[in-house]
Amino acid sequence: MPLQALIFDVDGTLADTERDGHRIAFNEAFRQAGLDWHWDIPLYGALLAVTGGKERIRYFLQQFHPQLLDDADLDSRIAALHQSKTRCYLDLVASGGLPMRPGVARLIAEARDAGLRLAIATTTTPENVVVLLESSLAKGSTAWFEVIGAGDIVPAKKPAPDIYTWVLEQLGLPASACLAFEDSDNGLRAALGAGLITLVTTNDYTLDHVFDGATAVLPDLGSSDSPQCVTLAGLRQWHAAAQAGSVP
Ligand code: XBP
Ligand code: MG
């Protein structure tokens, strides 16, 4: 089956959004709510074990403020706090502060020129995807992605494969016709769980993650003049080799 579509994760893959994006937005939302919670860089790295912002807040309470779990209105309080965080994050992204990672725009342009279909499979909130693409990739680039699977559209978030399975269903393609891009162990497990050949680009938070099963693990997709520049030709080779069951 030839390679027909590329499916991208967002946070950590398209852009390095966690440390200087989502984490800052969570802390601003806590401040605006009058809470003395502060997620510093190491703590946030530990909390990233749980995908989904609402789920991450609950995980934080379980670990550090279990007495608050008995609050009868906990779900609505978490939802309201997360909506505030999303507003803060959207403002931050719209300011242009979170650029695409090296090679992402180049590879997407090459894939578009070659007629490959593009999709997104992410745990983050849908609005976050649109603002990131429009602010950091290109105006109108949201339309380049035929399917955007994001956030609560599926019952179970990564590492469950649900979001990737949903995107494949919307594309009407088998996993064997696609290739996924991820940055984390949760994301890799989700993509592999959906049967997808997966390429990992690591970041500061995921360098020490276990990436067993990834077709390749790279620091980034590379700029056109770098030796490890990931090109469409290279993707096709990885895809063909993985389908043939051989390591490229
Ligand atoms: C990463 C996530 C998201 C973000 C926060 O998503 O787990 O939850 O950390 O975004 P992915 P929200 O790597 O799948 O793109 O607060 O909107 O969930
Ligand atoms: Mg990610």
Cβ-count burial 162-174 (b if 16+ within 10 Å, e if not): bbbbbbbeebebe
- 240 CA to middle of ligand 1, Å? 31
- CA 215 from centre of chain: 18
CATH code of the domain containing 33: 1.10.150.240
In this structure, are residues 168 and 194 in contact, taking their beta carbons and an 8 Å threshold? yes
Distance (Å, rounded) from C-alpha 223 to C-alpha 107? 9
Tell me: do 211 and 109 sit in the same domain: yes
pTM above 0.85, yes or no: yes
Q: Which residues contact 213 (CB under 8 A, 6 or more apart)?
A: 188, 192, 198
Ligand with smallest separation from the Cα of 209: 2
Structural domain ending residue among the three candidates 94, 128, 162: 94
Number of domains in the chain: 2
Tell me: do 83 and 125 sit in the same domain: no
Domain region containing 27: 18-94
In this structure, are residues 185 and 210 in contact, taking their beta carbons and an 8 Å threshold? yes
Q: Which atom of ligand 1 is closest in space to residue 25's alpha carbon? A: 16
Tell me: do 187 and 199 sit in the same domain: yes
- 46 CA to middle of ligand 1, Å? 14
Query: Position 166: which residue type?
Result: W
In this structure, are residues 221 and 201 in contact, taking their beta carbons and an 8 Å threshold? yes
Q: Whose CA is nearest to atom 8 of ligand 1?
A: 52
N-term to C-term CA, the chain:
17
Active-site residue numbers?
9, 11
Nearest to 224 by CA among 214, 236, 232: 232
Q: Tell me: the pLDDT tens digits for 90-136? A: 999 999 989 999 999 999 999 999 999 999 999 999 999 999 999 99
Q: Which atom of ligand 1 is closest in space to residue 14's alpha carbon? A: 15
Tell me: do 66 and 178 sit in the same domain: no
- 247 CA to middle of ligand 1, Å? 31
Distance (Å, rounded) from C-alpha 191 to C-alpha 175? 9
- 72 CA to middle of ligand 1, Å? 26
Tell me: do 120 and 215 sit in the same domain: yes
Ligand with smallest separation from the Cα of 182: 2
pLDDT at 84 over 60: yes
pLDDT at 232 over 80: yes
Answer yes or no: is the C-beta of 12 below 6 A from any ligand 1 atom: yes
Task: Give the per-residue pLDDT at 228.
Answer: 83
31 exposure class (CB count in 10 Å sphere: 0-12, 13-18, 19+) = middle
Structural domain ending residue among the three candidates 65, 94, 123: 94
Q: Tell me: the pLDDT tens digits for 36-72? A: 999 999 999 999 999 999 999 999 999 999 999 999 9
Tell me: do 67 and 176 sit in the same domain: no
Tell me: do 76 and 104 sit in the same domain: no
Tell me: do 192 and 72 sit in the same domain: no
Task: Give the per-residue pLDDT at 245.
Answer: 79
226 secondary structure, DSSP code? S
